[in-house]
Structure 1
Amino acid sequence: MGDLSSEMAWFFLAVLAVLGGTVLCKYNRSPGLVQGAVCLAGLWGGVYLLNLSLFCGLILSSLTCFLVYTYLSGQEFLPADQKAVLVTGSDSGIGHSLCKYLDKLGFTVFAGVLDEKGAGAGELRRTCSPRLLVLQLDITNPEQIKDALGKVAEKVQDTGLWAVINNAGILGFPCDGELIPMSEYRRCMAVNFFGAVEVTKAFLPLLRKSKGRLVNMSSMAGGVPFDHLAAYSSSKAALTMFSSILRRELSEWGVKVAVIQPGGFRTSIAGNSDTWDKLEKDLLDHLPAEVQEDYGREYIHSQRSFLHMINTQSSPDFSPVLRDIEHAISAKRPSAFYAPGEGCYLWLCLASFLPAIIFDYISKKLLGAGKRLPRALSVPTWKDKAT
């Protein structure tokens, strides 16, 4: 019996090695497969620990090989020829790089920009092929959305639009949820959620015609509760849920929906010192006197360190995001969710599966070191001393 168990163990390990090797070899063209490899490892580890019979092991082995083969066969990339895509927020950052990347792959790119006379729009016209068309597209402006739709529809005509990539977004001034002005909550929702929804609704008839792809750029912060991002994270969480519901509804039409939840990448979304000055002034101007006393101006001003961290510690290499978006619009069977960026998938898993009390403890230990406290918490008796 011991020999049989040993043979089973080696058999399962051999199957795992073959499957894992296949998965890892395909990883560069098939984002998300590493997660699959982890699941397979867990499955076969469980099989070995349960000490199932060789017959059951053979059945599980055959079933797993079939599932992996079926999945990998769906990772074949469709050709880019004659496929048109719309990218919003193309002035700078990921959207700007994405337009160049997709243009080089052979897609016809409609680059929606906030300022068609700006430097970002000019660079796209100068460096990309004649297939790329820059569109004035403020996604909070219904008239500009309607005008962009007309130009795209005229260009693509009967072929339809293959993909819409809702990339445009804003961060705002990160601070405690109590301190963020309502105007900033509304602004984040207007751009990150309502703007993406309105663009989606406007262009869906073209996507249904082509049975194409809808790709929405959410964020890791839309699934992980990070401090100081109440406005931004709430809007991205709303976009993620909107996308998940449309994924189910639009599947009947042959349209596939994917959500990109990137981690920390260095873009212009964090703004600059002038932007921070304006947002901080707006925050202080609308803050009740009692709340401002409890938190203190020094605490509010210290929140800039979070913005500095975004600009200095985030990755400048957008390639993981670009590859995932390429997969989402090109793979025969794309994934529903992508999590590009170092540690991004792990954080999403921790936030999804751990009990809240454990997740809060871990995140506080990892991210809360050296965190400045509001004045009333750092010196609880300061009001009494002042009187």
Structure 2
Amino acid sequence: MWLPLLAALGLILLYRWYKYSLILDNLTDKYVFITGCDSGFGNLLAKKLDKRGMKVLAACLTETGAENLKKEASSRLQTTILNVTNSESVSSAVKWVNYIVSDQGLWGLVNNAGIGTPTAPNEWLTKDDFKKILDVNLLGLIDVTLNMLPLIRRARGRVVNVSSVAGRVAIFGGGYCPSKYGVESFSDSLR
């Protein structure tokens, strides 16, 4: 009779130990680079991580987005301009991040930049419509990730690719679903 109770108590204690082992220490010493911080999820994540004390390197597409984000955050948060579809812009951002993090490396990369339009039945769209979405959502993400991997390895960091259920189930036409399927596949290849 006591054996099941002791086993249950042991499992509860094991679960609690495991749960508390997942809590991260020294967040203030870690750098995170986030793309697509002008608005939406990237903007919210940058502000949230900044409030938790992390050193946030936020990439915005526009100067206005970067300035607005800086106004709403602490001095720990730094911004840069990044167009993920432009390899020179990506290279410049990587040099900027490398200069800031130096030997410490990059603890996290959040590939958040993305677009969802144009979306319509496929026969209404052109190849350029598909290319526009694929360039931002997939090829830009791959370019940023491949260039940041040495910095991520230096800190034994992680890559977070923002995707969608549309990466597993095609729910409408256009380039969005194929781009997110590519993100899912690329993420799998990184594991």
Per the alignment, residue 164 of structure 1 pairs with 109
Q: Which residue of 2 aligns with 1:93?
A: 40
1:154: which partner in 2?
99
Aligned partners of 1:103 and 1:151: how far apart in 2? 19
Q: 1:189 to 1:63 in 2, by over 3 A?
A: farther
Q: CA deviation at 1:221?
A: 1.4
Alignment-derived partner of residue 373 in structure 1? none
Deviations 1:54-96 (A, max 9, x none): xxxx7xx799769846753542223311111111011111111
Q: Does 1:81 align with 2:25?
A: no
SS in 2 for 1:169: coil
Aligned position for 1:102: 49
Aligned counterparts of 1:85 and 1:219: Cα–Cα separation in 2: 21
Distance 1:239 1:176 in 2: 22
Task: Tell me whether 1:72 sits opposite 2:19 in the alignment.
Answer: yes
The 2-side partners of 1:90 and 1:72 are apart by 31
Q: Indicate conservation of the 8 Å contact 2:66/2:81, yes or no.
A: no
Structure 1 82/146 Cα, relative in aligned 2: closer, same or farther at 3 Å?
A: same
Q: Which amino acid aligns with 1:191?
A: V
In the alignment, structure 1 residue 204 sits paired with structure 2 residue 149: yes
Tell me the residue number matched to 2:168: 223
Aligned partner of residue 134 in structure 1, secondary structure: strand
> Whose helix fraction is larger, Structure 1's or Structure 2's?
1
Q: Which residue of 2 aligns with 1:232?
A: 176
- Per-residue CA deviation, residues 172-204 of structure 1 (Å, 9 max, x unaligned), is 122112222211111111110010000001111
The residue correspondences of 1:134-149 to structure 2 (distance < 5 A) are: 134-149=79-94
Separation in 2 of the partners of 1:71 and 1:114?
40
Q: Distance in 1 between matches of 2:10 and 2:74?
A: 47
Matches within 5 A, 1:244-283: 244-247=188-191
Q: Which structure exhibits the higher relative contact order, with contacts defined as CA atoms closer than 8 Å and separated by 6 or more residues?
A: 2
Cα displacement (A) at 1:236: 0.5
How far apart, CA to CA, are the structure 2 residues paired with 1:214 and 1:220? Answer: 18
Of 110, 116, 125 in structure 2, the residue corresponding to residue 180 of structure 1 is 125
- Distance in 2 separating the partners of 1:66 and 1:246: 34
* Runs (5+) with no aligned partner, structure 2: none
Give me the whole-angstrom Cα distance separating, in 1, the residues matched to 2:77 and 2:188.
30
Which segment drifts farther, 171-180 or 189-198? 171-180
User: Is the contact between residue 219 and residue 236 of structure 1 (CA under 8 Å) also seen in structure 2?
Assistant: yes
Closer, same or farther: CA 64–220 of 1 in aligned 2, 3 Å: farther
Q: How do residues 264-343 of structure 1 correspond to structure 2 at under 5 angstroms? A: none
* Residues 182/62 of structure 1: CA separation in 2 closer, same or farther (3 Å cut): farther
Deviation of residue 245 (structure 1)?
A: 1.5
Counterpart of 1:242 in structure 2 is 186
- For 1:70 and 1:182, the matched residues in 2 are separated by 53
Write out per-residue CA displacement over residues 103-123 of structure 1, whole angstroms, 9 at most, x where no aligned residue: 1111111111111x22x2111
The total of aligned residue pairs comes to 189
Which secondary structure state, in structure 1, belongs to the residue aligned with residue 119 of structure 2?
coil
CA distance in 2, matches of 1:171, 1:223: 16
- Counterpart Cα distance in 1 of 2:188 and 2:171: 22
Which stretch has the larger CA shift, 156-165 or 70-79?
A: 70-79
Q: Report what 1:376 is aligned to.
A: none
CA separation of 1:71/1:177 partners in 2, compared to 1, >3 Å: closer, same or farther?
Answer: farther
One of 69, 74, 77 as aligned partner of 1:124: 69
Measured on the aligned residues, the alpha-carbon RMSD in Å equals 2.4
Is there any run of 5+ residues in structure 1 with no aligned partner, and where? 1-6, 16-57, 248-387
CA distance in 1 between counterparts of 2:16 and 2:185 reads 30
Aligned residue for 2:135? 190
Cα deviation 1:105-154 (Å, max 9, x = unaligned): 11111111111x22x21111212111111101001111111111111111
**In structure 1, C-alpha distance between the alignment counterparts of 2:110 and 2:151, rounded to whole Å:** 13
TM-score (norm 2): 0.89
**CA-to-aligned-CA distance 1:10-36 (integer Å, 9 cap, x gap):** x7xx89xxxxxxxxxxxxxxxxxxxxx
Inter-partner Cα distance in structure 2 for 1:178 and 1:68:
53
